[in-house]
Amino acid sequence: MDAHIDIFEIFLGPDIDRIRGLKNSIDVFENASGEQIRKFEEEVKSNEWAKKLCLAYDPLEDEPSLSCDIRRIHYATISICLFAVVEYHLSRICHGRVKISVDRPNWGDFKNAIEQQIGISFDSISTFENVTRVRLLNNCFKHNDGLVNAEYAEKIGDTEGEEIAYENVNWDQLIDSCYSFLMDLNGRVQASVGT
């Protein structure tokens, strides 16, 4: 394997490992908090004090709802971190090898410049569909309160305006796809410039 790919992987690998670690930590936390909620429900059902609480507060209704919101936020954080890694490493792939005509390139600028350089569309790379999903999950959470936006509905197929269940996403698959996509793309750019 070429030294440039090895160096790229040396930097990419730990970033992907951190995302995997974040996902695993969230899984552990969620399993523990789920057990705590089950214990709380049992306690509330067995205690008279629960009957004396303010009528506006129903612990069996309100606590699980709060837990669901927290779970959703935890998993949505993975989309933000993972897409930040993708964008950062796209900039590393481009650095000194792909001409970008703007001072502060964004996702579209990187995508267009690399596609022009390597002569193919990202869509032809098998893992790109999952990278797109990560980008859309990220954008929906950051810019649309975690609700499906028009682009997500069009590309993923969910109904616009629905809440995204970030906790039900196959994060392991998306993390692996982003890693594979970046490694593949780096190799293609490297081949296109002959380094």
- Rounded to whole angstroms, the Cα distance separating 156 from 18 reads 26
Dihedral of CA atoms 108, 91, 75, 159 in degrees, nearest 10, equals 10
pTM of the model: 0.81
Nearest to 173 by CA among 140, 122, 129, 110: 129
Paired residues of 113 in beta bridges: none
pLDDT for 178: 97
pLDDT for 11: 83
pLDDT for 28: 83
pLDDT for 1: 46
- Rounded to whole angstroms, the Cα distance separating 66 from 141 reads 17
Q: What is the mean pLDDT of each run of 10 residues along the chain (195 residues)?
A: 60 90 86 71 65 56 63 92 95 88 90 94 96 97 95 94 95 97 93 80
Amino acid at 69: D
- Rounded to whole angstroms, the Cα distance separating 114 from 108 reads 10
Quick one: tokens of 106? 């964004």
